[in-house]
Amino acid sequence: MRRYLFGLGAALALLLGACMQSPPPPSSADTCTPTATGQGFKTQGLEASWTLPQGLGDFSAPHVPGELLVAGEGLSPQALSVRVQGVEPLRRLRGGSLLVRVPPGEERAKAEALLRAGARWVQPNYLYFPLRIPSDPLYRLQQKSQLNGLVGLEGAWDYSTGDANLIVAVVDTGYLLHQDLSSRWYLPPGVNLDVADGDPDPTDDTPSARDTQNPFSHGLAVASVLGAETDNRQFMAGVTWHGRLLPLKVARLADGSITTADIKDAVDLAVQQGAKVINISLGRLRQDSELEQSLRQARSQGVVLVAAAGNDGVDGVLYPASSPAVIAVGSVNNSKAKSKFSNCGPELDLVAPGEGVTVLFPNDDDGQASGTSFASPMVAGVVALYMSKYASERKAWPSPDQVYQCLTATAEDLGPPGHDTGYGFGLVRADRVMTDTTSCFP
């Protein structure tokens, strides 16, 4: 049975909390207009020396009640407990910051007390949201019209279908077994791939995936765009045919909530496990200093990060796509026009098909879904193909700067000439990426 989903709006999900599987209906308004920026390539030189700012984070943004992230040199859990009453250390994150529990409703007051006690930076444990919302079904689209007609993948596959050893991390709601994807999952033993719940099993057990009537796994759908088993006479084609998909589950079992602490740990874990590409089809409205530190460190170690720009049809690329460490991806339809739901902003780098994208559903099903959540893994997949071909020829992985230069320089310019806020540098073109001898294979 083929089913359909329409993926819209992290910002619309900001107040969903534990009911994120039943969001309000999306707005059809498109209030952002692509405008030329006049800028050259986005500066992506990410200084490994970047550090957290000093002070307090944004306490008006949606966050986990009663949880704070605390950074400060030499600050031990014991010292925190002694210095500030009502602060309970929960765990130390891989980057060194502490996740602590405080009385709900007293987050800001306790944060100020922690600063006085010697902390350098204190912020809430922000909430992130998968960028999709169920809506009316879309008519069936042929994959070929998108993957080849728009992105040019048939020409690219003549040069590379992926490197069997390249690891792409999918930071999302988890994984599910499926006839057309199971051989691609990479599950290293003894590693807590379920970052949110702290266990080795990253199976998507969120409320949406457990829905007995209309189950949907955001993580499975995103991963299927990246790497569904291809040329096997079953279901769909993925952008990559070979390589390992590392599922890092950042959505909690109880309510599906996704937080700063878990995404940060997942990014750090992906680097530790040797991932070369990380896809993050999640977002929130403002920058997150704690997560930014991990994103920059990952990029400084040669990892390419790709994220969805957001699905509210407004000016303002969501975070982490807006980070200079990340390739920000918006959505176009099959006519190469900006999707009405796709966010605009000067941080936008590329666009890819994001409407009526063929994806895998739970229970060995498949269907259609829309949103920048599904445009992002198309770009991440092209990144993986390029890195695979480059490594096979040059015996070394290209740097994130090289990847960025290659993809943006070969993109098909859409909208106002040059870089603009609605299309970035344009539509990703896998065929050009594989054959360009100026920016990709000089």
Task: Give which of 4, 3, 13, 5 is closest to 310, Cα–Cα.
Answer: 13
| Catalytic residue IDs | 172, 218, 373
Q: What letter does residue 11 receive in the DSSP assignment? A: G
Residue 225 corresponds to which amino acid? Answer: V
Distance CA 351, CA 348 (A): 8
Lowest-confidence region among 21-25, 90-94, 187-191, 390-394: 21-25
Query: Cβ(408)–Cβ(391) under 8 Å?
Result: no
Across-strand partners of 99?
Answer: 69, 91
Residues 144-165, mean pLDDT to the nearest whole number: 87
Same domain, 288 and 215: yes
| Domain of 389, in residue numbers | 2-12+129-435
Quick: pLDDT tens for 38-55: 765 555 555 556 677 889
The yes-or-no verdict on residue 406 having pLDDT over 90 is: yes
Which region among 23-27, 267-271, 308-312, 330-334 has the lowest average model confidence (pLDDT)?
23-27
Q: What pLDDT was estimated at residue 31?
A: 77
Beta strands 304-308 and 277-280: pairing type?
Answer: parallel
pLDDT per residue over 284-298, tens digit each? Answer: 989 999 999 999 999
CB 292 within 8 Å of CB 69: no
Q: How confident is the model at residue 16 (pLDDT cuts 50, 70, 90)?
A: very low
Indicate whether 382 pLDDT > 70: yes
As a whole number of angstroms, the distance between CA 213 and CA 282 comes to 24
Domain limit, last residue, from 75, 99, 119: 119
- Give residue 299's identity as a one-letter amino acid code: R
The helix/strand/coil state of 389 is helix
Q: 206 and 318: one domain?
A: yes
Q: Are residues 271 and 387 in the same domain?
A: yes
Position 365 scores a pLDDT of: 92
Q: According to the model, what pLDDT value does residue 77 have?
A: 58
Q: What are phi and psi of 165, to 5 degrees?
A: -100, -5
More confident residue, 335 or 130: 335
Asked if 187 and 202 touch (Cβ cutoff 8 Å), the reply is yes
One domain for residues 97 and 236: no
The Cα 95–Cα 252 span in angstroms is: 21
Alpha-carbon distance of 7 to 372, in angstroms, equals 8
- What is the share, in percent, of the chain residues with pLDDT greater than 70? 86
Write the pLDDT tens digit of every residue in 219-245. Answer: 999 999 999 998 887 888 899 999 999
Domain match, 91 and 204 both? no
Q: Looking at this protein, which amino acid is placed at residue 254?
A: A
Cβ burial, residue 256 (10 Å; 0-12/13-18/19+): buried
Confidence of residue 106 (pLDDT cuts 50, 70, 90): very high
Confidence of residue 8 (pLDDT cuts 50, 70, 90): very low
Task: Tell me whether residue 442 is in a domain.
Answer: no
- Residue 20 has φ and ψ, to the nearest 5°, of -65, -15
Mean pLDDT to the nearest integer, 311-324 = 96
| 63 plus 148 within the same structural domain | no
Q: What is the rounded average pLDDT of the residues 361-370?
A: 92
Report the distance separating Cα 245 and Cα 92, nearest Å. 27
Q: Smallest Cα–Cα separation from 436: which of 386, 380, 375?
A: 386
User: What is the radius of gyration, based on Cα positions, of the chain?
Assistant: 21
Q: Is 373 exposed, middle or buried (0-12, 13-18, 19+ CB in 10 A)?
A: buried
First to last CA, the chain: 47
Instruction: Please check whether residue 6 is in contact with residue 370, taking contact to mean a CB–CB distance below 8 angstroms.
Output: yes
What's the pLDDT score for residue 74? 65
Q: Does residue 19 belong to any structural domain of this protein? A: no
Alpha carbon distance 135, 379 (integer Å): 25
What is the C-alpha separation between 148 and 165, in angstroms, rounded? 25
Judged against a pLDDT cut of 70, whether residue 56 lies above it is answered with yes
Q: Is the pLDDT of residue 137 over 70?
A: no
Query: Could you give the count of Cα atoms lying within 13 Å of 434 in the half-sphere of its Cβ?
Result: 22
Domain contains 46: no
Residue 38: both structure tokens together: 């006049």
Pairing of strands 55-56, 121-130: parallel
Q: Taking Cα atoms as reference points, which of 287, 289, 336 lies closest to residue 316?
A: 287
Domain boundary among 72, 101, 119: 119
Average pLDDT over residues 337-364: 95
Is the pLDDT assigned to residue 183 strictly greater than 60?
Answer: yes
Q: 45 in a domain, yes or no? A: no
Q: Say yes or no: 191 and 87 in one domain.
A: no
The number of distinct structural domains making up the chain is: 2
Nearest to 381 by CA among 48, 131, 146, 133: 146
Q: Answer yes or no: do 374 and 292 share one domain.
A: yes
Is residue 115 domain-shared with residue 236, that is, in the same domain? no
Q: How confident is the model at residue 78 (pLDDT cuts 50, 70, 90)?
A: low
Q: Which two tokens stand for residue 121?
A: 């930076």
Average pLDDT of the residues of the chain: 86
- Helices and strands (H, E) in the chain, number of each type: 11, 16
pLDDT of residue 9: 34
Domain annotation covers residue 86: yes
**pLDDT band, very low/low/confident/very high, at 83 (cuts 50, 70, 90):** confident
Is 428 inside a domain boundary? Answer: yes
- State which of 119, 140, 171 marks the end of a domain: 119
- Domain contains 339: yes
Distance separating alpha carbons of residues 48 and 11, to the nearest angstrom: 30
Q: Which residues pair with 71 in a beta bridge?
A: 121
Q: Are residues 338 and 213 in the same domain?
A: yes
Q: 103: cis peptide before it, omega within 30°?
A: no
Same domain (yes/no): 148, 176: yes
Residue 36 falls inside a structural domain:
no
Q: Are residues 161 and 93 in the same domain?
A: no
Q: Is 167 helix (H, G, I), strand (E, B) or coil?
A: strand
Q: What is the CATH number of the domain that holds 141?
A: 3.40.50.200
Task: Please state the separation of Cα 349 from the chain's center in Å.
Answer: 14
Residue 383 has pLDDT above 50, yes or no: yes
- Which residues are paired to 424 by β-bridges? 420
